[in-house]
Amino acid sequence: MKPISYEVANAEVKAVFDDIKTTRKLDDVNNFWKYLANEPRMLAHVWNSVKDIMGPGSLDPLTKELIYVAISITNNCDYCMASHGFAARMKGASEEQLNELYAVVGLANMTNRLANAYRVPVDEAFRTES
Amino acid sequence: MKPISYEVANAEVKAVFDDIKTTRKLDDVNNFWKYLANEPRMLAHVWNSVKDIMGPGSLDPLTKELIYVAISITNNCDYCMASHGFAARMKGASEEQLNELYAVVGLANMTNRLANAYRVPVDEAFRTES
Amino acid sequence: MKPISYEVANAEVKAVFDDIKTTRKLDDVNNFWKYLANEPRMLAHVWNSVKDIMGPGSLDPLTKELIYVAISITNNCDYCMASHGFAARMKGASEEQLNELYAVVGLANMTNRLANAYRVPVDEAFRTES
Amino acid sequence: MKPISYEVANAEVKAVFDDIKTTRKLDDVNNFWKYLANEPRMLAHVWNSVKDIMGPGSLDPLTKELIYVAISITNNCDYCMASHGFAARMKGASEEQLNELYAVVGLANMTNRLANAYRVPVDEAFRTES
Amino acid sequence: MKPISYEVANAEVKAVFDDIKTTRKLDDVNNFWKYLANEPRMLAHVWNSVKDIMGPGSLDPLTKELIYVAISITNNCDYCMASHGFAARMKGASEEQLNELYAVVGLANMTNRLANAYRVPVDEAFRTES
Amino acid sequence: MKPISYEVANAEVKAVFDDIKTTRKLDDVNNFWKYLANEPRMLAHVWNSVKDIMGPGSLDPLTKELIYVAISITNNCDYCMASHGFAARMKGASEEQLNELYAVVGLANMTNRLANAYRVPVDEAFRTES
């Protein structure tokens, strides 16, 4: 698979690239979008979803970026760890915060398996509240 | 595997249970800890790690709880979704925030696989910053 | 999907069922094999592989069963945890050993993610040895 | 993230590094610990847990190391496969044993999905025993 | 979390529900959409993506449904196995085809881990072609 | 682990290699088989299963290859993405089809987690049919 650069992109892809650049105040889009441009329909869907959900909302943008990093670590996605780790730093994450995030990711992956191993039944208190 | 209740627990387990109850201001510990008490060494290790990392730190406790929920969803751990979803609500998460969290979890799991599928190379900008 | 019982199985499936019963000294095969019998080719392939690998070899049968349990916990497969946990007990695993196994599974899943998070480069010493 | 070497580590980290070196009879700690030292609290927690659980216990150290390798393969963690594969060899694993381990890992990941696909109900016999 | 039924849905959600019902010729939407309606933005994004990609395209709809089932088995998502297994049957999948699909899923999950375990380098022939 | 080439392989391994080369009309086997030859029993089992299931059957060979690619992406197996992506192209997959496949993989991984997050109960209609 080859990346699609702005110069050779069709009008549909160019429109999405322009929106990404304007929204994120960037001179060029990241590799992720250039590769995804091989499937213009998904390029538009993914960008529209990301733009809508990762922007201001009920959760602050940094919190959402940290959640993104945590999932990317759990799924072992190199590109995603790099790109969202970068984005988290741009949105203000300190090295201390990232280190604490990694600790939480480690703990959650440990206790997820311990809960599985013991087949722990859900406490009544959790059921009635949720 | 059977849960170990406070009454039948040995002194080592009781000490951990007491610390959990005091720290979290609870009358009894959750099922997770009662099952984990079958391995008293891990009970102590896991509790000490969780107490240390999930309390006040560089990231606020609610953010860490939300990260925990996100990983539990990604790993499909029923007990962990229920217990940490409950904890997130106790720490102030609104239904709007949880719904937005779920949206982020869905997006991250989608883009993680799209980045894998296209084997997207890491952008130079991300490398130099991180 | 419905399980295929011995009575209604075709000759190809019956032959595999008979081999399972003889090899394992059982009166009937477990549900796994009855469901897998819906695809007789895979029933034969899976049974032949399992019989060959899980029997006596370089690793003792109990060690292999414990490894099976560890992977089933990591993958969150309920049936597999139940059936291989049972098999491990039949092959002599004590409750203390199973509890220690669960602790190892928890630790491995934690450190796997911490190694991912920090993108730790492989030590030179490991490379030259393996 | 940068590794923390012994020379520049603070007293808390140095104490853990010294304990690792003494316990494992090594001149220096592996990269994993140097990176984890960016979060001194988790460095201490993880080392204490690993030291306690991976040492002598109900299961012999080699068995536990093999289980660690199996999970690291399942989770596709390169560093962990390399470091625990190395440790397994140091603890006496032969190439035949490692090859048999890989076969078990392959089988378990196959049958985990076949059990999921057929949604196989847990046999009564397994329930009453466990 | 509670499902949002058509009667109590707001206009934005109702419009998506109407489009789902019309497109799929159904009297009511499935539970998935009723729960997702708790986050109307994602309801719209997910439906628009699914409608666009899962309909006619370069791959026939049945092939895409089978791929969906295969991933849902690999991720152990009960709801998704049930809903997409149902959809695959509606689109013409026979029991023989589903059984063969399950066999492929089992094999792929096995060989994925064997390739990881042996850290097999990518053949030159594959690189030059892709 | 080192690959076993045809020249140094034992008779058992050579027989499998010959069958792979004849069946697939190749001059040499891929790296996967050369590494797997370190465990001759699994080499034979895996090849026999793959030959039997991935050949002509209820599903056409291209569909099965696409399913293989989809699972390899979800599991993040580099070698498997490369080898089965190559095989899919050899069996006639166009770039448009592969791009659409990637879109389906992304969607399935997203909705799998959304279904988990909301713990969506299985619709009655799906249960009665399956």
Cα(E73)–Cα(D118) distance, integer angstroms: 9
8 Å CB contact between A71 and B73: no
Residues in chain F: 130
Place of tokens 């030590």: C123
The average pLDDT across D98-110 equals: 98
Residue E130: is its pLDDT beyond 70? Answer: no
Contact: B100, E39; criterion CB under 8 Å: yes
Contact: E38, B95; criterion CB under 8 Å: yes
Residue A113, token pair as written in the block: 């398996």
pLDDT at C128 (0 to 100):
60
Q: How confident is the model at residue B130 (pLDDT cuts 50, 70, 90)?
A: very low
Query: How close E24 gets to chain A, by Cα (Å)?
Result: 20
Burial class (CB in 10 A: 0-12, 13-18, 19+), E118: buried
Among chain F residues, CA nearest to C39: F53
Residue F19: is its pLDDT beyond 70? Answer: yes
DSSP per-residue letters across A49-77: HHHHHHSSSSS-HHHHHHHHHHHHHHTT-
Other C-beta atoms closer than 10 Å to the C-beta of A94 total 12
Supply the mean pLDDT for chain F.
Answer: 95
Give start and end residues of each alpha helix (H) in C9-123: 11-24, 31-36, 40-54, 61-74, 78-90, 95-117
The SS3 assignment for B1 reads coil
8 Å CB contact between D71 and C103: no
CA dihedral E28, E31, E34, E35 (to 10 degrees): 180
DSSP per-residue letters across B18-61: HHHHHHHT-SS--HHHHHHTTSHHHHHHHHHHHHHHHSSSSS-H
Other C-beta atoms closer than 10 Å to the C-beta of D57 total 18
Residues in chain A: 130
Residue D92: is its pLDDT beyond 50? Answer: yes
8 Å CB contact between E50 and F111: yes
DSSP collapsed to 3 states, chain E: CCCCCHHHCCHHHHHHHHHHHHHHCCCCCCHHHHHHCCCHHHHHHHHHHHHHHHCCCCCCHHHHHHHHHHHHHHCCCHHHHHHHHHHHHHCCCCHHHHHHHHHHHHHHHHHHHHHHHCCCCCCHHHHHHC
Residue B43: is its pLDDT beyond 80? Answer: yes
Place of tokens 């020249």: F7
Other C-beta atoms closer than 10 Å to the C-beta of F55 total 10
CA dihedral B81, B87, B91, B96 (to 10 degrees): 30
Provide, for chain A, the percentages of residues in helix, strand and coil under a 3-state DSSP scheme, each rounded to the nearest 5. 70, 0, 30
ipTM score of the complex? 0.95
Residue E95: is its pLDDT beyond 80? Answer: yes
CB pairs under 8 A between C and E: 17
- Residues of A within 8 A of B32 (CB-CB) are 111, 114-115, 118, 120
Cα(C6)–Cα(C9) distance, integer angstroms: 5
Contact: A42, E48; criterion CB under 8 Å: no
Residue/partner pairs of F15-19 with CB below 8 Å, 24 or more apart: F16/F40, F16/F43, F16/F44, F16/F47, F19/F47, F19/F51
8 Å CB contact between A65 and A54: yes
Residues in chain E: 130
8 Å CB contact between F74 and E72: no
A15 contact partners, CB below 8 Å, separation of at least 6 = none
Query: How close B103 gets to chain E, by Cα (Å)?
Result: 6
8 Å CB contact between A39 and F103: yes
- Residues of D within 8 A of F75 (CB-CB) are 76
- Residues of C within 8 A of E95 (CB-CB) are 1, 38
E60: left (phi over 0), alpha (psi -120 to 50) or beta: beta
Residue F23 near chain C (CB below 8 Å) = no
Cα(C128)–Cα(C126) distance, integer angstroms: 6
A51 contact partners, CB below 8 Å, separation of at least 6 = A19, A23
Spans of chain A, pLDDT less than 70: 128-130
pLDDT at C129 (0 to 100):
47
F 57-116 → E contacts, CB under 8 A: 57-59, 63-64, 66-68, 70-72, 74-75, 77-80, 82-86, 89, 94, 96-97, 99-101, 103-105, 107-112, 114-116
Q: Is the dihedral of CA A44, A53, A60, D35 positive or negative?
A: negative
Give per-residue pLDDT as tens, C64-118.
999 999 999 999 999 999 999 999 999 999 999 999 999 999 999 999 999 999 9
Residue C130: is its pLDDT beyond 70? Answer: no
Contact: A41, F103; criterion CB under 8 Å: yes
Exposure b/e, D20-56, CB count within 10 A at least 16 = b: beeeeeeeebbbbbbbbbbbbbbbbbbbbbbeebbee
Residue C42: is its pLDDT beyond 70? Answer: yes
8 Å CB contact between A80 and B107: no
pLDDT at A130 (0 to 100):
44
DSSP collapsed to 3 states, F34-73: HHHCCCHHHHHHHHHHHHHHHCCCCCCHHHHHHHHHHHHH
Q: How confident is the model at residue B1 (pLDDT cuts 50, 70, 90)?
A: confident
Dihedrals phi, psi of C16, to nearest 5 degrees: -70, -45
User: DSSP assignment, residue A120?
Assistant: P
The average pLDDT across B69-91 equals: 97
Cα(F60)–Cα(F49) distance, integer angstroms: 16
- Residues of C within 8 A of D31 (CB-CB) are 120-123
Residue E90: is its pLDDT beyond 70? Answer: yes
Contact: E99, C39; criterion CB under 8 Å: yes
Residue F130: is its pLDDT beyond 50? Answer: no
Give per-residue pLDDT as tens, B93-112.
999 999 999 999 999 999 99
Distances (CA, A) of D70 to A7, C11, D98, F47: 47, 36, 10, 22
Cα(E22)–Cα(F38) distance, integer angstroms: 56
Give per-residue pLDDT as tens, D34-54.
999 999 999 999 999 999 999
Supply the mean pLDDT for chain D.
Answer: 96
- Residues of C within 8 A of A119 (CB-CB) are 78, 81
Half-sphere exposure of F33 (CA within 13 A, CB side): 25
C-alpha closest to that of B86 among B104, B55, B110, B65:
B65
Mutate to test the interface with E, among B74, B77, B102 (most CBs of E within 10 A): B102
8 Å CB contact between C112 and D64: no
Q: Find the CB nearest B77 among A84, A116, A126.
A: A116
The average pLDDT across B42-60 equals: 97
Residue B5: is its pLDDT beyond 80? Answer: yes
Residue F65 identity (one-letter amino acid): E
8 Å CB contact between A29 and A21: yes
Query: How close F35 gets to chain A, by Cα (Å)?
Result: 24
Contact: D42, A95; criterion CB under 8 Å: no
- Residues of F within 8 A of E37 (CB-CB) are none
Q: What is the percent of chain D with per-residue pLDDT over 90, rounded to a whole number?
A: 95
Q: How confident is the model at residue D129 (pLDDT cuts 50, 70, 90)?
A: very low
Supply the mean pLDDT for chain A.
Answer: 96
Cα(B91)–Cα(A11) distance, integer angstroms: 47
Give per-residue pLDDT as tens, E45-70.
999 999 999 998 999 999 999 999 99
Angle at C6 between CA C1 and CA C8, to 5 degrees: 70
Cα(F4)–Cα(E130) distance, integer angstroms: 25
